[in-house]
A and B are shown apart, each in its own frame.
Chain A
Amino acid sequence: AQSVTQPDIHITVSEGASLELRCNYSYGATPYLFWYVQSPGQGLQLLLKYFSGDTLVQGIKGFEAEFKRSQSSFNLRKPSVHWSDAAEYFCAVDEGSGGSQGNLIFGKGTKLSVKP
């Protein structure tokens, strides 16, 4: 069965510092991978997705992620964090075939705090 691991439960970074959130997946074939962000009391917003092709994926809000098959990883990065980036971040893999996107398996999330 597919699974997603986010090793870091909580990360604190200074505003303006760089950020990397880790995500490891378990899946036999080529995975469809996603990063979502959730602000308190809000639903999930898609930051970026990887289906195939270029392993470095650009997303919204200045985020990017790199797919590394050899490490089964899909880490999220941002060169300079803003206070508004404080939120919870979820990595997800698609369970269905063909990238159905309706049946996602999520990691447990990483809460990001930003200090001035």
Chain B
Amino acid sequence: DAGVTQSPTHLIKTRGQHVTLRCSPISGHKSVSWYQQVLGQGPQFIFQYYEKEERGRGNFPDRFSARQFPNYSSELNVNALLLGDSALYLCASSRSPGSTNEKLFFGSGTQLSVL
């Protein structure tokens, strides 16, 4: 079975542009979470979606938005890019939130560079 897949793997944008990052969860997983990992830091939670509904949101500006589709894949959108948005964006999936037996699986991430 395929793991969590993210596309693209690398992306270069300029300030002010918009970007869309994509994530396909493991088959059977209905929960997707997004994290931002700035170089030298731990991942920081952005969003969690479950069954197409937003379940949690981190401390990020409204320039960041996300959605989950009926097939449970997800998109993360960032508008008006800033240099500080340069980071590795990680997607993680699990069958469902709220269960202590669940395990979170991470993709390899999308490396976004804003010039």
A residues contacting B by CB (< 8 A) are: 4, 32, 36, 41-46, 49, 51-52, 90, 92, 95-109
Contacts and interface: CB of A to CB of B under 8 A. Distances in A.
Nearest to A9: B40
Given A102-B33, A102-B97, A43 B48 contact: no
Interface stretch (B12-20, B76-84, B99-107): B99-107
B100 A102 contact: no
A104 B104 contact: yes
B58 interface: yes
A92 B90 CA distance: 15
Nearest to B32: A102
B26 interface: no
B102 to A, nearest CB: 6
B61 interface: no
Given A95-B45, A104-B104, A43 B90 contact: yes
Nearest to A36: B106
A100 B90 contact: no
Nearest to B93: A102
Contacts of A95: 45, 56
A99 B96 CA distance: 11
Interface of B is mostly: loop
Contacts of A92: 42
Contacts of A36: 106
Nearest to A51: B100
Contacts of A52: 100
**CB-CB nearest 5 A-B residue pairs:** A106-B42, A43-B106, A102-B48, A100-B97, A102-B33
- Among A4, A46, A99, A104, max chain B CB count under 10 A is at A104
Interface string B50-77: 1000011010000000000000000000
B42 A109 contact: yes
- Among A42, A43, A98, A104, max chain B CB count under 10 A is at A43
Contact of B58 (A49, A90, A97, A103): A103
Given A43-B4, A44-B90, A108-B40, A101 B45 contact: no
